[in-house]
Amino acid sequence: MTDDTLDDFFDAMQELGQPVLTAEEFARARECTQEKADRRLTEFAEAGLVGRRDVERDPVIWYPKEWDQQAGRERVVTFPNRRELVVSHPEQFTRARLSTFAYLVDSNGSGDSIYRIREEDVWGAPYDDLADLLLALRRVTGERLEDLEEWITSQWKRARQFVLRTHEDGYTVLEADSESLMGNVARQALGEEQLHAPISDTESWVREGSEGEIKRILYDEGYPVRDARDLDTGDHLEIDLALELRDYQREWVDRFVERKAGVLVGPPGSGKTVAGIGAMATVGGETLILVPSRELAAQWRESLLESTSLSASQIGEYHGGRKEIRPVTIATYQTAGMDRHRRLFDERRWGLIVYDECHHIPAPIFRQSADLQSKHRLGLSATPVRESDDEVEIFTLIGPPIGTDWSALFEAGYVMEPDVEIRYVPWASEAAESEYASALGHERRQVAAANPAKLDEIRRLLDSHEGEQVLLFVDWLEQGEEYAEALDIPFLSGETRYAERERLLSEFRHGTRDTLLVSRVGDEGIDLPAATVAIVASGLGGSRRQGAQRVGRTMRPVGGAQVYMLATRGTEEEEFVRGQLRHLQNKGVNVLEREAETA
């Protein structure tokens, strides 16, 4: 380890047969301790002989320095034993393919990303057969990775070892691929609340109404359950469409009808509601639509009356003061999940249940409504991610993802990919920075969010986008009230009266008002108009769903859009903002990072 040349480094690369090294691999190849390897690699780097890539997580990657001349080119480095891929400067095609079978763990401003292939990514991969999934992996890595492909194959088979089906006598049966799986897994994990009795060594009689719970329990045991029940199609309901589906929406509907269950994961602005209405018309059965708020219930009712042949008397709403059950019924999750109301929904034979904004399903207050089952179950969400990492329940309870390839919609021009930029804002003063340093917990995040320098940066951005439709988002009411006064623009929050809210939204929608300041109330549940520019001054710490929702307010079929995410430099906001954009990056949206202008 005393030679001043790079012989050791290149010898290790040749021995391991790979173009980059971690310190652990270098130590193993040169038969030295990792401490000595770290020290030697650091010496090489300080001498300008090797470079390093750090994606803010282990491992640090070391590579020949001449690679920096190709720094802007895409490179994929695989770590099969950890089921991880480190991708430098991924192209949109690569990001889109990775989004179908891998999870974006981390990324940094240098263009490097870590992807991990987890069990649930293979279980829910949107491919009709294993060969298509393996082909997608090979197109990204450029090679066959036998150990990794063997593991993926095992997980693919694992997700197909339990099935719920309908017995010829009408009750539900849980069937396992083997006697061992039924005896050592299912009957050990499930009790009398879920199973009546054995039918055979591989079959058990399911207690009525426990199907959703069985899916959750076996999923937690590591065994997804396929749902092949012959569920009731409900009474026939003729629905004619007063609109034409786009090609990709028709493809979504066809895939859904073929599978009978699934979650549309299309980008904001792609028309998931329209596709949902198309599914209703194709299924042709009485439909229950579950939504998180009364406002969304009203929007669904309006869309159905405008886009279909349904009359007002055929559409009912069940929430708050309205308790109407009709051939098409729109209910809130909270109401549908209550025992005294759920019985009424259970008694009706639904041909289709639509779970709008279905990312809410894993939350305790919404979960019971997922026990409502029908032959066709359709979830809608642009952001099926949750900070509690329990989003897998969405696909377990409803169905597999559909429409995950956002890049195809971007490239075809159906939805314009927004330009997303993180702006790092310096502290306005030493006093403000000192206040942050002395603050703790929640207060610390609020101090960073309210950095006075952000207001100066917002003024510059508004000047540069004068005359364009701009939505400005904040997470704190005090910050919103301060900005509203300083910028002389209206502030729409949860405290804004309904009539005033509708007036402001109408003015913005029709172009008579070009700037609107919005609190967290604009993230979901109201029909916030699309904008050409979005500026996010503060947000929930690292919430991927909130980040995607706010960026999604600029996604439209025509015209470009610009999104600015502001973060105070040197604070935890930097990581929060990167975290918020992780779901969009995983879907192929490019994110740039730059410093804010200074006065």
CATH of the domain at 421: 3.40.50.300
Strand, coil or helix: what is 63? strand
The answer on 330 and 300 residing in a single domain is yes
The answer on 267 and 137 residing in a single domain is no
Q: Which domain holds residue 211?
A: 160-223
In contact, 571 and 579? CB cutoff 8 Å: no
Domain-embedded: residue 454: yes
Q: Who's near 353: CB < 8 A, 6+ residues apart?
A: 287, 288, 289, 290, 372, 373, 374, 376, 377, 378
The answer on 581 and 438 residing in a single domain is yes
The answer on 544 and 446 residing in a single domain is yes
In contact, 545 and 580? CB cutoff 8 Å: no
The answer on 124 and 167 residing in a single domain is no
Domain-embedded: residue 242: no
Domain-embedded: residue 424: yes
Q: What is the pLDDT of residues 413-462, one digit of tens each?
A: 666 677 888 889 999 888 888 888 888 877 888 888 888 899 999 999 99
Angle at 536 between CA 531 and CA 541, to 5 degrees: 135
Return the structure tokens found at 449. 């969010």
Among 129, 156, 183, the domain-final residue is 156
Domain-embedded: residue 231: no
Tell me which residue of 419, 423, 428, 422 sits closest to 451, measured CA to CA: 428
The answer on 151 and 164 residing in a single domain is no
Quote the number of domains for the chain. Answer: 4
C-alpha 147/C-alpha 269 separation (Å) is 40
- When pLDDT is averaged across residues 490-494 and rounded to a whole number, the result is 86
| The pLDDT value given to residue 82 | 87
C-alpha 582/C-alpha 55 separation (Å) is 14
The answer on 385 and 258 residing in a single domain is yes
Tell me which residue of 121, 142, 122, 130 sits closest to 19, measured CA to CA: 142
Of 31-35, 152-156, 316-320, the least confident: 31-35
The answer on 269 and 166 residing in a single domain is no
What's the pTM value of the predicted model, to 2 decimals? Answer: 0.61
- When pLDDT is averaged across residues 241-269 and rounded to a whole number, the result is 86
Domain-embedded: residue 402: yes
The answer on 313 and 258 residing in a single domain is yes
C-alpha 186/C-alpha 204 separation (Å) is 9
**Is pLDDT at 387 greater than 50 in this prediction?**
no
With 0-12 / 13-18 / 19 or more C-beta atoms within 10 angstroms meaning exposed / middle / buried, residue 10 is exposed
One-character DSSP codes across 310-360: --GGGEEEEETTEE---SEEEEEHHHHTSHHHHHHHHHS--SEEEEETGGG
The CATH number linked to 40 is 1.10.10.10
| The pLDDT value given to residue 542 | 43
The answer on 361 and 340 residing in a single domain is yes
In contact, 23 and 62? CB cutoff 8 Å: yes
Domain-embedded: residue 241: no
Domain-embedded: residue 39: yes
Instruction: List the 112-116 sheet strands across, edge first.
Output: 75-79, 84-88, 112-116, 103-107
H and E: helices and strands count for the chain: 26, 26
Among 98, 124, 156, the domain-final residue is 156
Q: How far apart are the first and last CA of the chain?
A: 50
Domain-embedded: residue 2: no
The answer on 187 and 256 residing in a single domain is no
In contact, 300 and 356? CB cutoff 8 Å: yes
Q: What is the pLDDT of residues 267-321, one digit of tens each?
A: 777 788 999 999 999 999 899 999 888 888 888 999 999 999 999 999 999 887 7
The answer on 389 and 424 residing in a single domain is no
Tell me, rounded to whole angstroms, the distance of Cα 209 from its chain centroid: 29
- When pLDDT is averaged across residues 135-152 and rounded to a whole number, the result is 92
